[in-house]
Structure 1
Amino acid sequence: MRSAWRRAAALSCASALAIAAATTNYSPALAQSSGQVGGFTNPSSNAQLLLQADELVYDNDNQTITARGGVRIDYDGTILVASRVIYQETDGRLIAVGDVEILQPDGTRTFADEIDITDDFRDGFVNSLRVVTTDETRFAAESATRQNGEVTTFNNGIYTACNECVSKEGRPLWQIKAKKIIWNGEEKTVRFERATFEFIGVPLASIPVFTTSDPSVKRKTGFLIPSFKNSEELGFGLRVPYFINIAPNKDLTLAVTGYTKQGFLGEAEYRHRLENGVFTLKTAGIHQFDPDAFGVNEIDSTVENRGMIGTTGRFTINPRWAFGWNGMLQSDADFSKTYEIAGFNSTVFENNIYLTGIGERSYFDARTIYYDYQSASVFSRTEEEQAVVLPSVDYNYTLENPVAGGELSFNVFSRYLKRDEQDSRFNGDPTRSNFATPGVDADTYSLTAETEWKRTFITDGGLMITPLVHAQGNFTNLDDGTSGALSATNANLGGDGSYTRGMVTAGLELRYPILFSTSSATHILEPVAQVFARPDENQAGVLPNEDAQSLVFDANSLFARDKFSGYDRIEGGTRANLGLRYTGTFDNGWGIKAIFGQSYHLAGTNSFAQADTFNTGQNSGLETTRSDYVGAVSFTNGSNYSFDVGARFDEDDFEVQRADLAANYTGDRIKWRVGYAFIGSQPAYNYITDRQEVSSAASYEFAPNWSVFGGVTYDVENTFLDKYTVGIGYDCDCFKMRASYTEDRSTNTDAITKEYQLFLSFRTLGDFGETSDEFASTRY
């Protein structure tokens, strides 16, 4: 009897597991629920069985085994609970009756009034079935039958991913109902018959019959979820993608987007994964029906047939080395941005081929680069003025063992640039007639090598002394350069030929951190003093400045040895930097960091007062003997609030020359962000007036699950809105919605783009549309 019961109990548990696995398989969650949908797995042959019941009866006449009253069977990690469990030896059927509940090892719970199945799992019946998966998706059916071990039919099935979003009557926010759901385990398909999608109890869509792959199939040829688009120039658009599974490691996605104003946009994307990486090939094109819908002076209005082709690649050669590329060719300068071709629609797209290597104490990077500047303006020459980098190579190595007790590092940088059209800009100062030249129409080769040694000593009194020695050499060759004087500023620009220059720096840094504490706070006050002695920079303005144009003097660069951002400029002359750092930590969770200081040119020629082809250093706050003052303060409570402000103040009257402010707050119902930027006039860079901008975004939950949101960017100097967004949103555990309206003023023309957006997200089903709410999360 014991062996028979063991067989019956084992079969009951295994049967329960089979039914639970089968029922979970039919969740329309599809691939999103793949963690819950594995097929039936036979229990371990070494599994131990534990049976609990009020009564156990073996009926020899009817050849049945019955467990009654609080039946619980634990077998191989699966738990079956029922009022009664019966095993019929004559026909090999197992029946569990009364409040049947099955808990699988993965956490999936199955509920039923009755389960009736054969001991080989080929045929069976489940009455009043309910399944709750580990990700809180729910499936129910009045009954389910299993035939031939492969085909299971659910009768009057309901699926939903809603747990908290339910009405007082218990109705989920959305659900899918089907008269029959038929799963074919051999063909790996799920067939829905007479399916209806309901939202807040209202049927929104009915489909007589559709078939999809079951959740165990991650890749299958078929249509993907459509999406909607809308803009003033393109009109309303519907995008329908079709996925073709070529092989387990490669696929093709075709998509057609129909726009009410511009016609049909076709797209194709091929993806191929290899053992060590992946590459993609993408193409898109359209014949525009109404180019006049765009602005008069916009590129989009001048062409009818438009298109692009793009490719990406990412490969891992070994754990230290990687290789890849990004590339795009398009019919005009703005196609991919206008039609939002995914992966290729940024304003500045970097075409590159790269090879990188990272060691424990070294770094290598080699790449070719060409920038596509996507602009709608027909007057823009930025695209033609971009240089081609063929290539740049950067290598850095730090010795593992100390040299003279200090750290010794080496760096080598090589770059070849080719530009066919010169980038020259009138500086905008009516009192001067010079130009800035961000890039010259020349072939330029540059090789830079540098080495640095530094060591930190700490005295008994806590003073930190760091001596430093740095040496740098550069070789540059210009071919077909502009030798004529473009202006007074560029009169020294060199012509064809080779040039060499070098710089040796000896530096000393002193830091004295002072720690003092109170009963509720800890404070660190650290005075910092630096001095760097070096000869004057040579050939400033003679050689083009390509990579050191973005000079920003602020608290972050106050203590930099060389404040130029690239290799084309080398800071010369003797300079001292003085400042004070402060760090405060308080018991209430708040923290403060602050820095304030000034830089002093002590001897030699001030590099920042020497004009180059881009006027770098002019209006920077460093071109005078005493620099402007710079400072920054940061507050945070470590959780939901932060405040950061940085500024540069005039050396004489303390007038603000540059300021940046950012504040963020994240509460239970309110989220907001405020930013402010101010840059004083910079005539040398063609900015003859101040620039000020305020940006802000906020979200407010005014009722459970409901919120309003918005964002604005305001040009203070020109007193107009650059961009604003207003919208409303809804969030719950199974559904997210964002509806918004945006107006955006073009950076190149006076055109204003108006855009309506609708974003809908149904958990486990998919997302539709896009959202401008920066606080929104599409994750559940």
Structure 2
Amino acid sequence: MRKQLALSTIILLSSIVNAQEQDYVVSCSAKSLLFPKQVLSKDAKNLDISADHSEVAGDNYLLTGNAVINSAEYYLAADKINLQKATKTSKAHGNIKFQNAGIMLTSDSAVVKKQDSTFKQVKFHYPESKINGQAQKIVNNGKEQTFDSVSYTLCPVGNTDWVMKAAKITLNSKANKGIAENVTIELMGVPIFYYPHYEWKLKGRSSGSLAPTLTTFDDSHNDKNGYQIRIPYYFNIAPDRDFLLTLNHVSTRGEAIEGKYRQLFDNGRIEIEGHYLNKDKISKQKRWYVDSKLDLSLNDKTALNIISKRVSDKQYFKEISHDNTRETSLISSVDLAYKNKENNLSASIFAESEQLVGHNNDAEYTRAPEVFIHKKVVGLNGREVNFSIVSTQFKHKTKGTNETGTRTHAQATFTRDIKTSAYSLQPKFEISKTKYAMDDKTKKDRSIYSFGIDSKLFFERDTRLFGTGVTQTLTPRLAYNYTPYKNQNALPDFDSEKMSNTYKNLFSGKKYTGLDKISKVNDITFGLESDFIDQKTGETYLALKIAQAHYLDKKAGKNYSNIIAGADLTMGKFTFNNALEYDTQLSEVAKHHSALSYVSNARKFITLTQGDDGEQRSAGLYGAYPITQKVHAFAGINRSLSDSINNKKTIGVAYESCCWAIRVAQLKEITSNSKFDNVVKFEFVLKGLASSNSSLTARLEEDIPNYLSYLE
């Protein structure tokens, strides 16, 4: 009986969802049972028997009035129980309660045997899987279980907002097979889905339909309203292989076929996804998309990763799939990596190519290929030496206006970590040689070294903050970094960008990312960190940071860098985060970002943000509010204050119950030329089964900070 209906609640849709690794469960805190849970006997040989009246005739026992049989395997209670000891059979009548390790049920009459049991007019409940329902009859012959006129749900006991009904369900654990006849899914008493015949595996994955997806949108060609329906079907080919086939009907463009094949190996996996629209109704062109991935462990130290992404045109995501609309480029790559932890040796060969998508995107340099070798040597007392060499061939789509060639960079870094309870010292010395072999036959090189030391002092004291006992830590920080001047005007710039001024970057001794630009540095950086930590909970109430660099060699006429400061305050449900960059020369704030939040829970919160990145001022308002116990609204807006344009706007409403949920969200985002991508997505969830649009979850959590988008 244990394996019968738990039957994998994977019955029908749920089995498919589990195979797809898309658990999406609406849960409730109520833990209702059919009857109070009983403690089974610990005596494996004997039965515990009790009743108001008992009669014994040979090996037959007739128990009447609150009759109970309790064993190590099951609990049985009824108005009347006839126990036949010779055949180990119990016949029960009236107000039956039965419980074993997996199931609880009530019925009118029952015959319980070790290998063959029958229950009539049954209500059943599997507490672990939360399945509950009723059946006209349940028969378990030890090999096969059958349920006649059965209905079940994953709603709490007594709630039937949605149910699955079947004329008959047969489960064969030996054949690992389940069969259901005339299956209907009902929501609020209304049939919404029907299967005349369905078969599935009791263990493992099954083929079958997934929930369809519905989206509405404004077509970018003529701003005409359209809708999209995705109807997916899942094929369980083998334990290590599956295939998802989806019909994507786009009202303004036509029908596209989408397929995704996955296969597991002993040492890796492969995924191949492809979309194809034979003829676009508007452009009259073929539209397609291909995305394949291969992850393979060649041995315990070597791994191969291949990614190939291509699309027929730049507007495919916006016009056909209505997903991944934020993609600006598709990167295809091959990466062969070796890592030996015992010898602290690693190496890799990497190559990539780029396809631009969307409008007004500029191509970047691509590595084709890049060879990297790294060796770490660990000495005594925290001494460490890192040797590395990386050789990269850079290519660009516009060869005429962009230099191309091969850069080879060799570097040795010597460090030592000295740390006590009172202070820490981290000296570092770095020397490197960079050579450029350009495609125009010119050769260029650079040799350079750098030195730095980072030091901290650790202080702490007990004090009080807002009436709470806290431990305050105080960490003065002083760092010196030196890199001599090198004229690098003749060197190409493949991958360097100016680093933003952050607290961490001020202490790094670097001004640029990448390897092409290494700026002169002769700086002393002062910093101060302080945390106020709750003595009981260990939570940090207030975290403060401030730092500034002093240029020993003036830079652009300045003796000091901008001041970088940050403060993070948490007071119960309120949090305040602030980071700023203050220009001491102009006596003004150059950049800043602030966020104030009140978070009661994931369905009741509000967040205000305001910032200036030096180029654009922006503000954001995000929140969710419960209109009723089951209905909540959510919204998020990010507005550019510089040009009075809403960059992104998300608004929606959701209904949640213990059994099902529905959500609708409008997603509006500026793309290019002041045009907007405007999409409305619908999501429908049956508890324990599937979400009709699980991709909406990640999008909402990205657009609305603090919003837990899973419908629970």
Is the shorter-chain TM-score for this pair beyond 0.5, marking a shared fold? yes
Q: How many angstroms does 1:647 deviate by?
A: 1.4
Residue number in structure 1 paired with 2:29: none
For 1:278, the equivalent position in structure 2 comes to 269
Report deviation, 1:32.
4.3
Cα gap change, 1:84/1:443 in structure 2, threshold over 3 Å: closer, same or farther? Answer: farther
Q: 2:177 aligns with which of 188, 193, 199?
A: 188
In structure 2, the residue matched to 1:498 is 443
1:205 corresponds in structure 2 to 192
Per the alignment, residue 741 of structure 1 pairs with 666
C-alpha deviations, 1:449-482, integer Å up to 9, x for none? 23222343669xx4544433222222222113xx
* Structure 1 unpaired stretches of 5+: 1-17, 37-45, 165-169, 292-301, 425-439, 481-495, 610-622, 681-689
1:306 to 274, 287, 290: 287
Q: Give the structure 1 partner of residue 35 of structure 2.
A: none
Is residue 263 from structure 1 mapped to residue 276 from structure 2 by the alignment?
Answer: no
Aligned match of 2:680? 756
Provide the rounded CA distance (Å) in 2 between the counterparts of 1:413 and 1:779. 47
C-alpha displacement of 1:159: 1.5
Q: Output the CA distance in 2 between the equivalents of 1:238 and 1:281.
A: 22
Q: Distance in 2 between matches of 1:277 and 1:342?
A: 28
Q: Distance in 2 between matches of 1:423 and 1:581?
A: 50
Report what 1:22 is aligned to: 4
1:197 partner letter: E
Native 8 Å contact 2:436 2:443 kept in 1: yes
Which amino acid is 1:235 matched to?
G
**CA–CA separation in structure 2 for the residues paired with 1:72 and 1:366:** 71
Distance 2:400 2:579 in 1: 32
Alignment of 1:619-634 (within 5 A): 624-634=558-568
Structure 1 residue 316 and structure 2 residue 297: aligned? yes
- Answer whether contact 2:547 2:565 (CA < 8 A) is retained: yes
Asked whether the equivalents of residues 736 and 760 of structure 1 are also in contact (C-alpha less than 8 Å), the reply is: yes
Query: Deviation at 1:342?
Result: 7.4
The alignment status of 1:97 with 2:93, answered yes or no, reads yes
Aligned equivalent of 2:606: 672
Counterpart of 1:474 (choices 422, 434, 440) is 434
- Residues 497, 34 of structure 1: alpha-carbon distance in 2 compared, 3 angstrom cutoff: closer
Paired amino acid for 2:564: V
1:119: Cα distance to partner?
A: 5.6
| d(CA) in 2 for partners of 1:344, 1:423 | 31
8 Å CA contact 2:209–2:232 kept in 1: the answer is yes
Partners of 1:503 and 1:572 within 8 A in 2: no
Whether 2:128 is the aligned partner of 1:134: answer yes
1:137 Cα deviation from its structure 2 partner: 2.5
**Deviation, structure 1 residue 715:** 0.8
Partner Cα distance (1:235, 1:288) in 2: 17
- Partners of 1:31 and 1:768 in 2: CA distance: 11
Compared CA separation, residues 105 and 719, structure 1 to 2 (3 A): same
The structure 1 residue matched to 2:506, chosen from 535, 544, 558, is: 558
1:365 & 1:341 partners in 2: Cα distance? 36
Indicate yes or no: 2:365 matched with 1:387: yes
- Superposition RMSD in Å: 3.5
One-letter code of the match for 2:473?
A: I
The 1:75/1:214 distance shift into structure 2, 3 A limit, reads: farther
1:151, distance to aligned residue in structure 2 (A): 5.8
Cα 1:171–1:521 shift into 2, 3 Å: closer
Give the secondary structure class of the aligned counterpart of 1:556: helix
* 1:169-248 alignment, distance < 5 Å: 171-183=159-171, 186=175, 188-193=177-182, 195-199=184-188, 202-205=189-192, 207=194, 209-214=195-200, 216-233=202-219, 235-248=226-239
* Structure 1 SS opposite 2:647: strand
Looking at secondary structure, tell me which structure has more strand per residue: 2
Aligned-pair identity in percent equals 17
Code of the residue aligned with 1:158 in structure 2: it is S
Cα distance in 1 for residues equivalent to 2:143 and 2:73: 23
- Where structure 2 has 5 or more consecutive residues not aligned to the other structure, the ranges are 19-42, 220-224, 702-706
Q: Distance in 1 between matches of 2:400 and 2:559?
A: 31
**3-state SS of the aligned residue for 1:216?**
coil
CA deviation profile, 1:195-233 (whole Å, cap 9, x unmatched): 35132xx414363x5222346143333333322222222
Aligned position for 1:59: 57
**Residue 705, structure 1, aligned to residue 630, structure 2:** yes
Superposition map of 1:331-370 within 5 A:
331-336=312-317, 338-340=319-321, 346-358=327-339, 359=341, 364-370=347-353
Provide the secondary structure at the position in 2 that maps to 1:339: helix
Match of 2:105 among 107, 110, 117: 110
Q: Label 1:666 to 1:171 Cα distance change in 2 as closer, same or farther (>3 A).
A: same
- Return the letter of the residue paired with 2:448: M
Q: For structure 1, which segment, 88-97 or 545-554, has the greater mean C-alpha deviation from structure 2 after superposition?
A: 88-97
- Alignment partners' CA distance in 1, 2:202 and 2:592: 55
- Counterpart Cα distance in 1 of 2:429 and 2:10: 67
Please tell me whether residue 778 in structure 1 is matched to residue 702 in structure 2.
no
Moved more, 255-264 or 20-29: 20-29
Q: What's the TM-score once normalised by structure 2's chain length?
A: 0.84
Residues 102/400 of structure 1: CA separation in 2 closer, same or farther (3 Å cut) = farther
Letter of the aligned partner of 1:367 in structure 2? F
Inter-partner Cα distance in structure 2 for 1:111 and 1:395: 68
Tell me how far apart the structure 2 counterparts of residues 117 and 313 of structure 1 sit (CA, whole Å). 53
Q: Give the CA deviation at 1:716.
A: 0.5
SS in 2 for 1:557: helix
Aligned residue in 1 for 2:355:
372
Shift of 1:306: 0.9
Question: 3-state DSSP class of the match of 2:496?
Answer: coil
- Report if aligned partners of 2:531, 2:540 keep a CA contact under 8 Å in 1: no
Describe how 1:309-708 pairs up with structure 2 within 5 A.
Answer: 309-318=290-299, 320-336=301-317, 338-340=319-321, 346-358=327-339, 359=341, 364-375=347-358, 377=359, 380=360, 382=362, 385-402=363-380, 406-421=383-398, 440-456=402-418, 462=422, 464-480=424-440, 496-518=441-463, 520-539=469-488, 541-586=489-534, 590-603=540-553, 624-637=558-571, 640-668=573-601, 670-680=604-614, 690-708=615-633
2:365 partner letter: A
Distance change >3 Å, CA 710–CA 455, structure 1 → 2:
closer
Structure 1 residue 311, shift from structure 2 partner: 0.6
Number of the residue aligned with 1:163: 156
Residue pair 1:116, 1:126 contacting (<8 A) in 2 also: no
State the 1:262 CA deviation: 1.0
Q: Highest relative contact order (Cα 8 Å, sep 6+), 1 or 2?
A: 2
Pick closer, same or farther for the CA change 1:523–1:27 going to 2, 3 Å.
closer
How many pairs were matched up? 665
Question: 1:442 corresponds to which letter in structure 2?
Answer: T
Structure 1 residues 734 and 546, CA gap change in structure 2 (3 angstroms):
farther
3-state secondary structure, aligned to 2:378: coil
Question: Compared with structure 1, are the counterparts of its residues 177 and 24 closer, same or farther at alpha carbon in structure 2 (3 Å cutoff)?
Answer: same
Cα distance, 1:27 vs structure 2:
4.9
Report the 3-state secondary structure (helix = DSSP H, G, I; strand = E; otherwise coil) of the residue aligned with 1:175: strand
The AA in structure 2 aligned to 1:516 is R
Partner of 1:614: none
Distance 1:663 1:392, change over 3 A: farther
Of 729, 747, 758, the residue aligned with 2:654 is 729
TM-superposed CA distance for 1:708, in Å, is 0.9
Q: What is the distance in 2 between the residues matched to 1:196 and 1:223?
A: 13
Deviation at 1:271, TM superposition (A): 1.4
Code of the aligned partner of 2:163: Q
SS at match of 2:617: strand
Scaled by the length of structure 1, the TM-score of the pair is 0.77
After superposition, the Cα gap between the structure-2 partners of 1:81 and 1:448, relative to the gap in structure 1 and judged at 3 Å, is farther
Shift of 1:445: 2.6
- Structure 2: distance between partners of 1:394 and 1:696: 45
Secondary structure of 2:352's partner?
Answer: strand
